[in-house]
Structure 1
């Protein structure tokens, strides 16, 4: 017997789907706290063999990433799951103290964002209701490593002078200086960097 839904509901489909075998290897390496050998397809550098030390999965709303220490660049980076091939859990290989998550400054740093209705919005009270703001502001705490993804997903204008216009920019980041030193901020709409920053992932 076919059951009828109480309420009709639709949600947009993802355009990308991670390979379940790859995802299983990544999660196994995280759980066992082991390095992971991978083939990685990068837009900037093409195909390369990497050893990474993964510790967290990230859903940025569009794609799945894994946060990991990259032994090639000697930095913590985000790796897009769909760009990973031939993963191999390297059991028995030691993990150095500087390769663990509590040494990842972008991961451990917590930001508090002050989001307000965009000054160009003719009816700011609608945004206040829509986003559940209190006294005209929505405060959000999140990891620095995640900030750029979230601000891009919600089309938040991060320019100092709220210069972006268009109906998609319903929010403005009032305390834009909070993004100083945040590497993922290069993804944020309107962000003006005071120093050259290399993004932590390039298969997005």
Structure 2
């Protein structure tokens, strides 16, 4: 029997939390272990309940979702974070991903897709809504320094690691990368771990963002 995914809901609207809890608790493979009304409560709840995934709002009192995401990702047993918000500006998207979020969904996302995103992120794969993915793909590098920093950082990778980073930015899974680059999935995972360590990143989404900044995809 598959292990239940432990989920923490963070939103300052109690009705939104109640609706999400009712919807996701009924999927069979997700259990809502705690709720929080702002980012400060989220960090406390995560420390107490050890969730696998946090579903995070952005605009909240006291501590906002971006700050809370950054704090959660710095915990020893850091949960994955999916931002669920009504705000989809480039600024919100980029700041959330840079803070360590592994997913970014809009609140009009169908319930089944939210549940699928939780499962995907819990398995270690990033999940962006189609609209958000398009915006990232279309996003041009407007600051030369960001482009140069990204290029400089990626220069530390071996040619094979560079290929893996580009494949990640193109949304490929480990299995797809292994097939395309003629290597085992275990080797791909090893390359991903090495990339994260060398670049000082937390997850695959940040690798993809860096590749986008470097204009590689």
The answer to whether the superposition gives a TM-score over 0.5 is no
Structure that is richer in helix per residue: 2
TM-score by length of 1: 0.26
Structure that is richer in strand per residue: 1
TM-score by length of 2: 0.25
Higher relative contact order (CA 8 A, sep 6+): 1
